[in-house]
Structure 1
């Protein structure tokens, strides 16, 4: 009898396997499953996969408390066609707790799996610029700060933790990392980037992709799809204003702006790309077939998905209250242009792509074009394992989001970011036993500062609170705001209110009184989330026409300087600021950018010597807005000089001091003569000649001495961060391959030209020793 039962069960199971659709069989290759599913889908079901809801989920999927509402879902999606994506699921009604976030994604997922004809699961995306944008999620430092570490392994670990928190809540696709190369400090989105250098941006971006996607086994419940932003050339907009045209040659486009994207795709296997708002040579990216098809897919072999930036397809026609490119007559024409260019899915709301069914019916768009774009979207859902395991564990989300392990890495990253720009007479580190009273003064001293695209972490430590805690038993700490940068406000709020002048004058007088009672002043200023941010509408500005400190900060510092008390200045900001007056009046100056939730703790650790600063500038700090563009890797004819001013930067790319001293021996090459397809190793000994253990970043630059087209005066091609105890030395080796020596020649071909190269080695872009490399034609 038992044997009969077993035989019946086996027969039943075999019959089930034989009759189930191929797309339901996880043992089959993904492409076979995609083909089978596509063949079963109606046109309406295919187009539904190219559509997303974000803000509309509030009225179409959620109840008034932010929970899932099956009645509303049935009203709007009861047709059974399904939907491709749901955007930022946890952001409604002030943000869901991690457990509620996970329960919500489960409920939405269950509805679409059980109520769509073919049971196609939803893919959830969310912002993950420097941590999951969610309640209680770990808020790491902004990317411009992370780039200051020159530590790709740290960045990989950080984005691995970001992916872990996102996936635990049910998120499958991260909108990030940002691989824009920031070439204009006026632009409000500098903070989102890894800086001005394509090699540094590429290395950090590659690390972020590897952290998010791992080895591209997306079934791993700790991994998410990385989405490279913004393709392409978004970081040098005309006039420094967000989304403005980018007027550059194809050669510069390829060498500067496409380089990081190619590295992240070729070496990291990035699975998704977000097209950029801007136009290049008159062609908006969302309608640029050359960019999205010829270069991205055919030349680079990219097989992933291209997602639209929010509302960018409608901007091909016109976006109410903002602008339009006017390369499409209406929304239907915009959808046609985006499909032809190769944009797989429209974010964030159902808009232009709603016309696709009609466009196919009328013969304007071929259904084969739709199939081509839907296939990669389905492939990613299969690769993520969503057809087999569509749900997450809410208690696990509660345990992992914002956990202590992630908090510890946030602090470690913040410590490595802090960049010492000036330290006159070894003012730092502070010796608490030699101080009786410290005055902490400035608009950022006791303010929560996370920068853009930030969630709400469980805690944030201000500089004031951390300094008070650091010296609680021995030093009296006084505080004064001194002045305001803006009145209240945050990154999301449209209006920016300047500080009241009379009120600031009163605050300055109070600050001077406080400073007179102290042995030393710690000034904490710079910018805030309102003075440097994404300008996403005419009512929400973030780009600037100058780079000076906003408000009366300079007047405040001048008043503090007249007291004769030493000033240690700590800057928090999203873009480089022209702080010459502040630097002149400060005994020590620290650049922090935005350090994340552990900001104050990291600053106090550096101020009092518990941590030796080791950050390096990932972007040039210019003397004024008139010095823009100020990037270091300019062409030989640039930077000739100005009447009545110095052409040099205030602080150069790659620069950063330490509490100790490092000496570089003369560098050498393993092979001073190579062929055009050969490699060589740069060798240099670095000695810590000071009294503190410290980390130094060895930077290798090259210059092609004679070339068929002009080349930058120097270009960063490799770097390595090394920690060296006091009195010890380290031998550092860094490789130069043909990839580092190649460029787009006079015929627009990527080649290594024979000739002589200078190889320059040192701790910054202006402190370098040179060794000569000769490259001979390749032997035949």
Structure 2
């Protein structure tokens, strides 16, 4: 869109972004007009400026007037909203594209397109524990009904499809919203989309996508490069906004202090200071110094830190509902959250767990006034949105199981929750207000925060995206080139005792990646690059090789496959064939790479210490070969400590980082990492 400045009241042509239609407006000298994206909303000219008539009443209401302060616009719109519209505004739920059957077990496979999935999805059992629910929960609504009847405007996008389809769908959704009574746009959220990851379960990560592909979050931390971390976030923000995703359910400020917790893959490691630095760069990269038209509003999670779970069990399940601090280090876990708050994170998500053995009430964090009001808002100064995790009302109400659904809503709202994730049905929340358990004035507080975010993001002026541009922006070669640097910087050289690395030119290499995903009967895959730019000779058997490069990818399986049993970190318990590994390492000089999504115990293959060991945190085979060949000199540092034995795990204090644990806890310590001398 282009604006031509002319003195006085000469007319200029404004092309409405994404519509191909035109209107006449006057550009004032005192303000820079925003791009106005519309599909059907009329345009009005007032005082030489052009505005969208979102409520179609023939005049420019304050909420439609982009020259006014945000708080004035928010208050005007709030006064025009009905109670039903306000209550619908406080829910965020999964939305699905045509052909997308997320959460539907056994659904037929279909091609995802940019249309709407118009089916309601109602659950009668907990999607995580598979236990009966106290009341059925509508986890997803048919899109048109969600917008027009349920008044929903916050949505979580789970679909993994092309940039073009995502952008087209986003425009279709915003057009649907524009055609409602007040024309309030939607905001679309997503879990991470830019990382190579092992557990891509719904709710954790979207997995590998068409977006630029970076190392996992642990790998970003292993780089120890804050400038590149900021660049990653800025690049990802451009890709997300290009397809219409404007809210991130990310990143995790939790610390990896309990090695058995199965969500460590999504953290920035065990050290509070490093994680705080990472969170600051991530928030500023995605959001900017303040929310604006190019920002992705982040939801930092899971307050006050989900790392120190009892025995590593996760509070998605009843057997993991307790969180403890045997080392007395709760304040240590708050540091990354404080950094995110200071950087301006738009929202905070409390976890499901309840603290035990602390000064705080033993009740789930979403219901915990001392945690949310006294600590988060009071002591730490957070003024943004408190967004519940998925399903604390119906599925994970730890500590308030005896309360009715209405009473749970009442308590959570009293404690400060503004946005409830997991349900697409506002009926029970509306009933909570109508029965006087929550005042409309308190509802207005939450809706004010939610509206503020939308106005600051510029969604009222232009929620539409350029579909052709999205295809060019998402995953473009320039972005991937920067990601490729990160993929190499994330690799950590832990041992090189015989100076086997870097490999000499013309070395005969047998390169095997061992990953048992549970979907194959052949977990060992021989990697033989089609294009050999490493001056190595790749062979098809270990017997032919001078050196074996063995890349192990342990897998605990999905978090949501948990059955409550003890969590083991031994390689043999995580789908690695120990006999196969030991047979290879005993035959030939072997470079062993281990992909760490958890702090694995490697004593089964390390009884006689392996001379050459590297750590990866979800990277590519090309990046691995660049490091082992010497094309790239490794610089990565471990983001957490790895336990030396199972006994060390059993004796560990869950809230204490590995580098502060005593009694010889670590085999590899936080910060370990070598480089090749003389390179």
Q: Establish whether TM, by shorter chain, passes 0.5.
A: yes
What TM bracket, shorter-length normalisation?
0.7 to 0.9
Match of 1:443 in 2: 514
Q: Contact 2:310–2:654 at 8 Å: present in 1 too?
A: no
1:101 equivalent to 2:166? Answer yes
Q: Distance in 1 between matches of 2:451 and 2:218?
A: 34
| TM-score, scaled to structure 1 | 0.68
SS of residue in 2 equivalent to 1:521: strand
Which of 537, 544, 550 aligns to 1:475? It is 537
After superposition, the Cα gap between the structure-2 partners of 1:294 and 1:468, relative to the gap in structure 1 and judged at 3 Å, is: same
TM-aligned CA deviation for residue 369 of structure 1:
1.1
Q: Distance in 1 between matches of 2:670 and 2:347?
A: 30
Which of 159, 170, 178 aligns to 2:252? It is 178
TM-aligned CA deviation for residue 651 of structure 1:
1.1
Bigger radius of gyration among the two: 1
TM-aligned CA deviation for residue 106 of structure 1:
0.7
After superposition, the Cα gap between the structure-2 partners of 1:110 and 1:233, relative to the gap in structure 1 and judged at 3 Å, is: same
Q: Distance in 2 between matches of 1:99 and 1:4?
A: 40
Q: Distance in 2 between matches of 1:181 and 1:140?
A: 21
TM-aligned CA deviation for residue 586 of structure 1:
3.0
Q: Contact 2:488–2:627 at 8 Å: present in 1 too?
A: yes
Q: Number of residues paired by the alignment?
A: 580
Which of 169, 175, 178 aligns to 1:110? It is 175
TM-aligned CA deviation for residue 341 of structure 1:
1.5
1:588 equivalent to 2:612? Answer yes
TM-aligned CA deviation for residue 346 of structure 1:
1.2
Which of 551, 574, 577 aligns to 1:524? It is 551
SS of residue in 2 equivalent to 1:283: coil
User: Which range is displaced more, 147-156 or 326-335?
Assistant: 326-335
Match of 2:423 in 1: 349
Match of 1:24 in 2: 64
Q: Distance in 2 between matches of 1:420 and 1:70?
A: 48
Match of 1:759 in 2: none
Match of 1:608 in 2: 629
| TM-score, scaled to structure 2 | 0.78
Match of 1:287 in 2: 367
After superposition, the Cα gap between the structure-2 partners of 1:112 and 1:59, relative to the gap in structure 1 and judged at 3 Å, is: farther
Can you list the C-alpha shifts for 1:680-721, whole angstroms capped at 9, x where unaligned? xxxxxxxxxxx21xxxxxxxxxxxxxxxxxxxxxxxxxxxxx
Q: For the aligned residues, what is the CA RMSD? A: 3.5
Q: Distance in 1 between matches of 2:652 and 2:281?
A: 26
Q: Distance in 1 between matches of 2:351 and 2:248?
A: 16
TM-aligned CA deviation for residue 383 of structure 1:
0.4
TM-aligned CA deviation for residue 84 of structure 1:
2.5
TM-aligned CA deviation for residue 640 of structure 1:
6.1
SS of residue in 2 equivalent to 1:230: strand
Q: Contact 1:123–1:173 at 8 Å: present in 2 too?
A: yes
TM-aligned CA deviation for residue 250 of structure 1:
11
Which of 185, 194, 197 aligns to 1:121? It is 185
Structure 1: state its 5+ residue gaps.
318-323, 450-461, 479-513, 642-646, 661-690, 693-780
SS of residue in 2 equivalent to 1:425: coil
After superposition, the Cα gap between the structure-2 partners of 1:160 and 1:636, relative to the gap in structure 1 and judged at 3 Å, is: closer
Higher relative contact order (CA 8 A, sep 6+): 2
Q: Contact 1:98–1:397 at 8 Å: present in 2 too?
A: yes
SS of residue in 2 equivalent to 1:26: coil
Q: Distance in 2 between matches of 1:425 and 1:441?
A: 21
Match of 1:718 in 2: none
1:291-690 aligned at under 5 Å gives the runs 291-317=371-397, 325-351=399-425, 353-433=426-506, 435=507, 437-444=508-515, 464-466=527-529, 469-471=532-534, 475-478=537-540, 514-528=541-555, 531=556, 533=558, 535-536=559-560, 538=562, 544-549=567-572, 550-551=574-575, 553-563=577-587, 565-583=588-606, 584=608, 586-595=610-619, 599-628=620-649, 641=663, 647-660=664-677
TM-aligned CA deviation for residue 630 of structure 1:
5.5
After superposition, the Cα gap between the structure-2 partners of 1:633 and 1:64, relative to the gap in structure 1 and judged at 3 Å, is: closer
Q: Distance in 2 between matches of 1:334 and 1:633?
A: 29
Match of 2:46 in 1: 13
After superposition, the Cα gap between the structure-2 partners of 1:440 and 1:81, relative to the gap in structure 1 and judged at 3 Å, is: closer
Can you list the C-alpha shifts for 1:589-638, whole angstroms capped at 9, x where unaligned? 1101212xxx1111101111011111111100111122126589959999
SS of residue in 2 equivalent to 1:31: helix
Q: Distance in 2 between matches of 1:102 and 1:139?
A: 19
Which of 211, 214, 224 aligns to 1:137? It is 211
Can you list the C-alpha shifts for 1:229-277, whole angstroms capped at 9, x where unaligned? 11122111101111221122796222x21111011111x1111111112
Match of 1:273 in 2: 348
TM-aligned CA deviation for residue 552 of structure 1:
5.3
1:88 equivalent to 2:160? Answer no
TM-aligned CA deviation for residue 300 of structure 1:
2.6
User: Which range is displaced more, 19-28 or 128-137?
Assistant: 128-137
After superposition, the Cα gap between the structure-2 partners of 1:527 and 1:71, relative to the gap in structure 1 and judged at 3 Å, is: closer
Q: Contact 1:194–1:618 at 8 Å: present in 2 too?
A: yes
After superposition, the Cα gap between the structure-2 partners of 1:329 and 1:408, relative to the gap in structure 1 and judged at 3 Å, is: same
After superposition, the Cα gap between the structure-2 partners of 1:152 and 1:543, relative to the gap in structure 1 and judged at 3 Å, is: farther
Match of 1:39 in 2: 79
Q: Contact 1:566–1:586 at 8 Å: present in 2 too?
A: no
After superposition, the Cα gap between the structure-2 partners of 1:465 and 1:398, relative to the gap in structure 1 and judged at 3 Å, is: farther
Q: Distance in 2 between matches of 1:88 and 1:103?
A: 14
TM-aligned CA deviation for residue 121 of structure 1:
0.8
SS of residue in 2 equivalent to 1:86: strand
Match of 1:76 in 2: 145
1:54 equivalent to 2:94? Answer yes
